[in-house]
Amino acid sequence: SQQGEEDPQALSIQEGENATMNCSYKTSINNLQWYRQNSGRGLVHLILIRSNEREKHSGRLRVTLDTSKKSSSLLITASRAADTASYFCATRQGNKLVFGAGTILRVKS
Amino acid sequence: GAVVSQHPSWVICKSGTSVKIECRSLDFQATTMFWYRQFPKQSLMLMATSNEGSKATYEQGVEKDKFLINHASLTLSTLTVTSAHPEDSSFYICSARRTEGVYNEQFFGPGTRLTVL
């Protein structure tokens, strides 16, 4: 299968709450990336974490990586309605960037 | 950041016609471009890898005669959906890989919504 798995598949929270999304992958990696996609739009690159990093921050985003478990998590703190989107993790397999199944996040105001 | 454009952004066509989608890297050269397909509420599935000046490499299950890819220059790749049918209706996203830099960054176009009637 091309895809890793992400959970939850869908997440609905209130504005101001934190949102956590998880991603698992199958192969060894050099890095893992997270992307956001607003409905019907292209992808926006959020953050890249290298295999020798355990945690990385960017604004309200916090990404963790556990290479022993082949998993990563994306935490969005103090969520806003504008964070409503689909979120995908992606890993590189050879020349290809392969995406997880994605989490649909809805932030209610 | 680098910009990738797609044209058209959306297209509606009749069953049996062919549709061409263009993908351009606007401010960098891309020896490799990728074409993805995305069905509603699903993830991006890689269809093929397009290499400038050579034949595209298709993923398993993707018909190369139906989805023609041409990467004639370092800034342009085209995807032609031949004899389109309603089941080809999808969101097609291209991506261009910039080889300069440490991580071989990959940039995504805004996508093309294809609806086949």
Residues B32-70: pLDDT tens digits?
Answer: 999 999 998 899 999 999 988 888 999 999 999 999 999
Residue B104 has what pLDDT?
A: 65
Residue B52 has what pLDDT?
A: 84
Are residues B74 and B30 in contact, defined by beta-carbon separation less than 8 angstroms? yes
Which residue ranges of chain A lie beneath pLDDT 50?
1-2
Are residues B108 and B93 in contact, defined by beta-carbon separation less than 8 angstroms? yes
Q: Where are the beta strands (DSSP E) in B1-117?
A: 4-7, 10-13, 19-25, 32-38, 44-51, 57-58, 67-73, 76-81, 90-97, 106-108, 112-116
d(CA A24, CA B13): 38
Contact check, Cβ <8 Å, B46/A88: no
Residue B16 has what pLDDT?
A: 97
Are residues B71 and B77 in contact, defined by beta-carbon separation less than 8 angstroms? yes
Phi then psi dihedrals of residue B29, to 5 deg:
-95, 140
Residue A94 has what pLDDT?
A: 83
For A100, which of B43, B91, B109 is closest by C-beta distance?
B43
> What percentage of residues in chain A have a pLDDT greater than 70?
96
Taking CA atoms, what residue in B is nearest to A38? Answer: B110
Residue A2 has what pLDDT?
A: 40
Residue B100 has what pLDDT?
A: 67
Contact check, Cβ <8 Å, B41/A104: yes
> What percentage of residues in chain B have a pLDDT greater than 90?
74
